Structure 1
């Protein structure tokens, strides 16, 4: 057993989820929401940003994930001339056509996807899980990561077995701990139409252990080995997608149209590969976070980063953190719950927490 605090999560056994429910804010007319998915490659984000800038689209905020040679993004843009959502059908059609061409590349064996969606309908992180799940990123490409580069990160350990007496399927997961881990697992199970009836979550020094008793929405446990294998693959992908590797760079400067295109172009020209990105604007300021490696997936040469920071400006682009594949230093006592649940929950608040209602 791991050292740390155990948390038990219970739900009403008669409750069945509805996939029509969503997490997030109400729809907004302030921006146009664009969803993208396609084969990952170095420089892809730079190409997407260049197209948007050329078409007069200002990126208000965005989140970009890559996993298992696939890439997905949810991007919110406004019209450069009006500062509002883009509504002209011709303009929207042009955006879609050009972005699809960029995503498709020269030899994309999978279909590239781009669509416009109502803003604010679903939590952005959850929507990215849904996009990548639909893109079947959980299917391993020869055990490799981006562009055939071997993924050196430790794999999460997911097992499923039957609890015959109670007619449940039991899932156990052991992985490196990180923020929003529980959220990612529950959203994935819910979107796959499983109900969580009981759960136990525990964190050790920097490791998380989760155990859930589930059934399908039809009330039955998982019945076949093929289904068990698919669920395990999907949960491994859910754990890995948001994991941050490489060097964390933070950009903070006055916002302007084309800023993201210029920054990502510099990254591309210096052979940086963006593994994940969070783009936001607030009060006229652009506050962006990038997680970067070199094109082979290895750590970036510090001299290269220093050169890029000088080019952009040391007060604008800063190195925040370097995340390696090695085990991180041990956390101090008394902090074991913070990473898994972020700032939303405290250890003592889980006694009456209704887990299955978390997405409604």
Structure 2
């Protein structure tokens, strides 16, 4: 009887959501600097991530956000701009945002902890994780080329000595997904041997993933979380000054009068920062009840009032420490500012293997990469350093240009040594509902 009542409650909740679809208002008049998007809907775990994911996938930048979801109703206000820093003026884009947000239901599947191969009609999705080392991506790409697997899309992250990748491949002959079980087993065995290396104590587990589709970037967060990349790694005493000063600062504290845990964060601002934070909190089974997001000159400030999905705040010091480490890891996974290389050329089998081999032979380490193919063209972005983690020598860049071609590979030098702008002490107010909380700034290094 108890199980039957639970099922009835679940069906009733689904009915309520179907009747009360999200109401979306997109306003270009009330704010001079940004497009304002207001969303009201029935509350459900994961709904905030669903909305943020829609904006992120459209490459929109959230400059400010106010979140409130006490009770059964969710309300969020986003101030967004495009990648050029302008308001959203295109009516087609505005209508698309409206449709996507109005059909969001928060039912985001979770596949935390599974890695392996997933065949679909168009491509086979390969998920990899292992100990990062120079030349690892080059070795993976060489194996895929030897096995006649053509890479059509890929994203690679590295953090805290760990590496994770989601790679979509097709059969080079048919251009379709690889479905032969024996061939998949060979691919898994070969890639696992590469990932293990010679002295990898944390070997990769590679299994067939369960059915379903998970957002690729969210999946990367899940893979690295399952691999415990957030565990403290002893940091080198010789870490560069700009690395120390640019690390995120996370504080986890109590709001006893309202029975919340309060998380305040300060970090360098960058695209997709809000997505990374909300994604991690959601997958760790926390609910954001109230929040404020503000971005300043190159810095971002976020404050969230959260509880676990079971309705209780964080109660132990161990859990508090774990949340802090996981959020710092979520911010750092793609915050690296190395030398950015942009690839654009005709696609072919072995292209990625050749590019990564040239980078390896020039003693460069790939810290993060994103590759896509469409209409016979291959595009990619690589963030690289030398093997010691230092900036790339311009002479090495010239050598790479000669081997690959200046028209194929573009270089974008980042000012990674730039210091964060020093703001005054910041505080957020929710009217008389919460007390103002001072946010301590990180001391800038000179």
Q: TM-score range by the shorter chain?
A: 0.7 to 0.9
Corresponding residue for residue 271 of structure 2: 179
Residues 258-279 of structure 1, C-alpha deviation per residue, up to 9 Å, x if partnerless?
0000110011011000000000
Counterpart of 2:377 (choices 285, 297, 312) is: 285
Matching of residue 32 in structure 1 with residue 128 in structure 2: no
Structure 1 segment 219-298 matched on structure 2, within 5 A: 219-298=311-390
CA 54–156 in structure 1, closer or farther in 2 if over 3 Å, else same? same
Work out the CA distance in 1 between the residues paired with 2:238 and 2:378. 32
Counterpart of 1:108 (choices 200, 203, 222) is: 200
Work out the CA distance in 1 between the residues paired with 2:107 and 2:238. 39
SS at match of 1:184: helix
Matching of residue 214 in structure 1 with residue 306 in structure 2: yes
Work out the CA distance in 2 between the residues paired with 1:180 and 1:51. 32
What displacement does 1:111 show?
1.9
Q: Given that residues 53 and 261 in structure 1 are in contact (C-alpha distance below 8 angstroms), is that contact kept between their aligned partners in structure 2?
A: yes
CA 20–311 in structure 1, closer or farther in 2 if over 3 Å, else same? closer
SS at match of 2:183: helix
Corresponding residue for residue 11 of structure 1: 69
Q: Given that residues 110 and 283 in structure 2 are in contact (C-alpha distance below 8 angstroms), is that contact kept between their aligned partners in structure 1?
A: no
Work out the CA distance in 2 between the residues paired with 1:246 and 1:323. 9
Bigger mean CA deviation after superposition, 192-201 or 11-20 = 11-20
Relative contact order, CA 8 A, sep 6+: which one is greater?
1
SS at match of 1:219: coil
CA 21–101 in structure 1, closer or farther in 2 if over 3 Å, else same? closer
Structure 1 segment 300-339 matched on structure 2, within 5 A: 300-327=392-419
CA 198–135 in structure 1, closer or farther in 2 if over 3 Å, else same? same
TM-score between both structures, scaled by the size of structure 2: 0.68
Corresponding residue for residue 52 of structure 2: none
Pairwise CA RMSD: 2.3
Q: Given that residues 247 and 323 in structure 1 are in contact (C-alpha distance below 8 angstroms), is that contact kept between their aligned partners in structure 2?
A: no
Work out the CA distance in 2 between the residues paired with 1:13 and 1:225. 28
SS at match of 2:220: helix
What displacement does 1:8 show?
1.6
CA 74–6 in structure 1, closer or farther in 2 if over 3 Å, else same? closer
Work out the CA distance in 2 between the residues paired with 1:188 and 1:115. 23
SS at match of 2:277: helix
SS at match of 1:165: helix
Matching of residue 20 in structure 1 with residue 78 in structure 2: no
Q: Given that residues 109 and 213 in structure 2 are in contact (C-alpha distance below 8 angstroms), is that contact kept between their aligned partners in structure 1?
A: no
Q: Given that residues 245 and 325 in structure 1 are in contact (C-alpha distance below 8 angstroms), is that contact kept between their aligned partners in structure 2?
A: no
Work out the CA distance in 2 between the residues paired with 1:307 and 1:136. 37
What displacement does 1:310 show?
1.3
CA 19–169 in structure 1, closer or farther in 2 if over 3 Å, else same? farther
What displacement does 1:228 show?
0.3
Work out the CA distance in 2 between the residues paired with 1:314 and 1:95. 34
Work out the CA distance in 1 between the residues paired with 2:233 and 2:163. 14
What displacement does 1:19 show?
6.6
What displacement does 1:143 show?
2.2
Which segments of 5 or more consecutive residues in structure 2 lack a partner in the other structure?
A: 1-33, 35-62, 75-105, 112-118, 423-446
Work out the CA distance in 2 between the residues paired with 1:140 and 1:9. 31
Work out the CA distance in 1 between the residues paired with 2:239 and 2:184. 38
Work out the CA distance in 2 between the residues paired with 1:104 and 1:15. 48
Matching of residue 65 in structure 1 with residue 157 in structure 2: yes
Work out the CA distance in 2 between the residues paired with 1:32 and 1:169. 41
Paired residue total: 320
What displacement does 1:109 show?
1.4
Q: Given that residues 121 and 176 in structure 2 are in contact (C-alpha distance below 8 angstroms), is that contact kept between their aligned partners in structure 1?
A: yes
What displacement does 1:116 show?
4.6
